[in-house]
Chains A and B, each alone.
Chain A
């Protein structure tokens, strides 16, 4: 990992030395391998995800970035025949430990999916669902507060405040995706995983979400999978390039885009293949 201070993006503090980075690591992955039946999808991934930073995962389709993302909150558990080996931690605790409660893990590591998938319920109920099942709100007023602040954080409050009882599925695509982000934020997670959150959105909605990601970074740690190189460059501090199940390069975003070490990385980000 490069530690040169010149290339740090303005809002973040200058990159700390290695030891400090370990200490700031929100999640770590050591030698993570994923098998789908007999097929090996990830070959030993080592990544540190630092607190209050955005990590972008890029790479051609089928390279394993979404698989890696879904390992981080064990969504792969739901896939038949999927086996994860290696060590993955959240705040130093192994998330694949038998004793770990996966429900609790997913409350701490929230997720936003590629296609907006609001529940077919009202906007209010979409946001309130998480706090309700996790018992985050004591009463109706507290719940109202959570719903409002979540929607405000997702930049959606002004647009929907007068129609909270309307179905969430009636919103536009960009609004739906922000609703999903608000829904993820509402359970106060520590990490938010985003799986190509803008792939189904127009440029204006995309810009909205990118601004939002930058704001959310202050409170949360974010991992985002994207096919859009410019997006990765705009929103992330660190970038990891995956290729055919390997983690090829993982370093400061600016550096990976200006000075890629690996030929494959260079080829991909310059658009020669991928």
Chain B
């Protein structure tokens, strides 16, 4: 040992046990502890924020879980089936007559010409038949005799003919030949010296009921509870029940035609203002002109409540209906189904394409300038604002390919474009993380490159790929901007029935409701947010479960 090293060693004796060293050690531990506390603090802060968010949204959502109903004893006479129905019945006559003119199918102009040989209200006789006996609806065809217009009568009687100058007749040649054909077919006959149209008409029960307005029946039931209220004051009274009452009644009658002519007890939803009143969200001390319900209405309502006619129930409507202008009728189901269809399209498109692209780029593609360029561009695409994808969808899918607007198909395609880069990047990372020794082992066994990938690399990368896919899908679920461009940000009152029917999605529904002025939508918005979160959790749970299954197989 040289002197130099000896000195150096001498200096270090006791170095690790000195006061100085102890202090350094303490500082080191203190730094470690501090870092630990920072970490715990950050997590607590995050959890606290999350808790505040969930509690505030959750507590606001609770009122939307219940809805107040008014029990009404409703008489169901056949009148609604005929009131305002004359025009509706005309369409059944039209259907019969036009079936005799197959060449006019699709030719709206020609159809109008043919139908105009009868007066508008010719079908009034049908209403009378229905009033006499409701069972003709949906039963056998009924024979009806309908009037013709004066001109048509004059032509049949020979008072005018084709040789009459155009200025003196209001019947065109086409109409004349239509009349001629109807006469030949014995549809136009002469009865008691007057030409009439004698035709058998089919009256489908469903269509007649569907086009009738039953709201007045519910209103009548309400009026009967307050016989002293008359005239214009009744307007205040009928504001208590939701316009959905007539709809509900119609559904009941459609389900059971035997109800016509009987009296039923039905719980009809309260309109939003009175639902809020029932939930005690209305300040009765406010001056009358600052409330949306006036003193008289409050008195009516209190009367109903005292009579025990107002009941509060779980709001199933919210989870089964589509959107509506009336908060008490609006539901999330339409948007939920829309989101589901959209995401199915997104998943079916982006997962196979994304994974295939990742496999090709990672396992097969040569490393050269072109693939480098592709890689850079994929990374860039992940950062493109999503509304740009919406514009692309509008220009390409809707305008160029002519796909329908507002459809989950197009929405899903646009979201798939948006999700693809995420899935490709995550999949490539997952593939890259598979140890090369596995590839070598498989190749060394004489497996082809595709076999190596499908048998060994892909299964090992699958958990990572699925994680990336979940992230991409969650992103797609919460996206509204690209859907704006393809018409999915819309007021849709029906639950979508397929990939091409008009639909909206959950975040859009939340956005629309948050913008609505009605008081009831405040709670609905919060409940919709909770629904979106639950949907997300379900989706992720499913993915985690799938991932576990995949892992267990290997």
Interface residues of A (CB under 8 A from B): 73, 75, 78, 80, 103-107, 110-111, 113, 115, 117-121, 129-130, 133-134, 180, 183-184, 187
> In the complex, what's the smallest C-beta–C-beta distance from B372 to chain A, in angstroms?
13
On chain B, the residues within 8 Å of A113 by CB distance are 437, 440-441, 444
Asked whether any CB of chain A lies closer than 8 Å to the CB of B438, the reply is: yes
Taking a contact as CB atoms closer than 8 A, the residue among B367, B438, B445, B451 that contacts A110 in the complex is B445
What band does the interface of chain B fall in when counting residues whose beta carbon is under 8 Å from A? Answer: 10 to 19
Can you report 29 residue pairs joining A to B where beta carbons are below 8 Å apart? Answer: A73-B444, A75-B440, A75-B444, A78-B440, A80-B367, A103-B447, A104-B446, A107-B446, A110-B445, A113-B437, A113-B441, A113-B444, A115-B437, A117-B435, A117-B437, A117-B438, A117-B440, A117-B441, A119-B438, A119-B441, A121-B554, A129-B445, A129-B455, A133-B445, A133-B451, A133-B455, A180-B441, A183-B441, A184-B445
Residues in chain B near residue A107, CB distance under 8 A: 445-446
Among A110, A119, A134, A183, the residue within 8 A (CB) of B456 is A119
Which 9 pairs of residues, A with B, have the shortest CB-CB distance?
A107-B446, A111-B444, A117-B437, A106-B446, A117-B441, A130-B445, A103-B446, A103-B448, A120-B554
Mark B residues whose CB is within 8 Å of A. 367, 435, 437-448, 451, 455-456, 460, 554
Q: Which B residue sits closest to A77, measured CB to CB?
A: B443
Chain B binding site: helix, strand, loop or mixed by DSSP?
Answer: helix
Closest residue to A180 on the B side, CB-wise?
A: B441
Q: How far is the CB of A110 from chain B (nearest CB, A)?
A: 7
Q: Closest approach, in angstroms, between the C-beta of B460 and any C-beta of chain A?
A: 7
The smallest C-beta distance from A72 to any residue of chain B, in angstroms, reads: 11
Distance in angstroms from A111 CB to nearest chain B CB is: 4
Which chain A residue has the least Cβ–Cβ distance from B451? A133
Chain B residue at minimum C-beta to C-beta distance from A81: B367
Task: Give which listed residue, B437, B438, B446, contacts A187 with CB less than 8 A.
Answer: B446
Which of B439, B442, B445: most chain A CB closer than 10 A? Answer: B445
A110 to B456, CA, bound (A): 18
Chain B contacts for A119, CB-based, 8 A: 438, 441-442, 456
Q: How far is the CB of A70 from chain B (nearest CB, A)?
A: 9
Q: Which residue of B lies closest to A78 (CB)?
A: B443
Bound state CA distance, A104 and B440, in angstroms? 15
Instruction: Please tell me if the beta carbons of B444 and A187 are within 8 angstroms of each other in the complex.
Output: no
Point out the residue from B435, B443, B451 that lies within 8 Å of A75, measured CB to CB.
B443
Q: How far is the CA of A75 from the CA of B449 in the complex (A)?
A: 12
Complex formed: what's the CA distance from A75 to B447 in Å? 12
A40 CB, nearest partner CB in chain B, Å: 21
Determine how close the nearest CB of chain B comes to the CB of A154; give it in whole angstroms: 15
* Set of chain B residues within 8 Å of A111, measured between Cβ atoms: 440, 444
The distance from the CB of A67 to the nearest CB of chain B, in whole angstroms, is 14
A130 touches B446 (CB 8 A): yes
> A184 contacts which chain B residues (CB < 8 A)?
444-445
CA A104 – CA B446 in complex, angstroms? 6
Asked whether A187 lies within 8 Å of B445 as measured between CB atoms, the reply is yes
CB-CB under 8 A from A115, the residues of chain B are 437
Q: Could you tell me the distance in whole angstroms from the C-beta of B197 to the nearest C-beta in chain A?
A: 79
Instruction: Quote the shortest CB–CB distance from A109 to chain B (angstroms).
Output: 9
